[in-house]
Structure 1
Amino acid sequence: MKEKLPTTFQCLFCNHENSVSVSIEKKSGVGNLQCKVCGQTFQTNINYLSAPVDVYADWIDACDAVAKQAAEGNVDTARSTNRMGRMPTAHNQEDDDGDGGFIEHDEPDAEGEYAD
């Protein structure tokens, strides 16, 4: 009896079991990985022999490579704390009709005039 390879895996970031699923798109040659708990995603090139476990292994290798670069000081892994504030909005005196700048559309849709 042939054993099936796994298709769901443990997440490297949030450590939840069976939270990572892999989809294989053989026609486009792409493997996609996503954690349903923390939202981590990964994409890699695949070939016609690739299985979900191969995409997961590529993800592990990519994470290891980034960790090694960070340990050597080649990658800035700290996220920027400089955040943009709220974007300024243009405000004219003419727009003080109480609708907040939204366009009101009171006419019935053209599609609504046709009966099936």
Structure 2
Amino acid sequence: MGKAKSARKPAPKPKILLPPVAEFNCPFCYQIKTCSVVIDRSTKKGFIVCENCKVSFGTTIHDLYQPIDVYNDWIDSCERINS
């Protein structure tokens, strides 16, 4: 008499990673997905421009910055100005 074989767990399914979002909502004209981010790593600058109202914002970045970080810097600076 041998040991009963136990059922093996199925292999985990690979997680689907979505690419980072590069289009955001504009806080000035309130349009959806009209702001696009451009990151220039050679000059360490990040720019965001609204296609609808033509508002733009630029910030200095470091190597780990993503488009969401540039957008968050823009929102933070808008809140700082308004308060």
Q: Is the structural similarity TM-score above 0.5? A: yes
Alignment match, 2:72: 57
Query: Which segments of 5 or more consecutive residues in structure 1 lack a partner in the other structure?
Result: 69-116
How do 1:1-116 residues align onto structure 2 when only pairs under 5 Å count?
1-68=16-83
**Superposition TM-score, scaled by structure 2 size:** 0.79
d(CA) in 1 for partners of 2:18 and 2:56?
27
- Tell me the CA shift for residue 18 of structure 1: 0.7
More strand by share: 2
d(CA) in 1 for partners of 2:80 and 2:74?
10
Query: Which segments of 5 or more consecutive residues in structure 2 lack a partner in the other structure?
Result: 1-15
Code of the aligned partner of 2:38: S
Identity of aligned residues (%): 34
- Tell me the CA shift for residue 2 of structure 1: 1.6
Code of the aligned partner of 1:24: I
CA RMSD in angstroms, aligned pairs only: 0.6
- When Rg is computed on C-alpha atoms for both structures, the one with the higher figure is 1
The 4+ residue runs of structure 1 with deviation greater than 2 A are none
Code of the aligned partner of 1:52: P
Alignment match, 1:78: none
**Superposition TM-score, scaled by structure 1 size:** 0.57
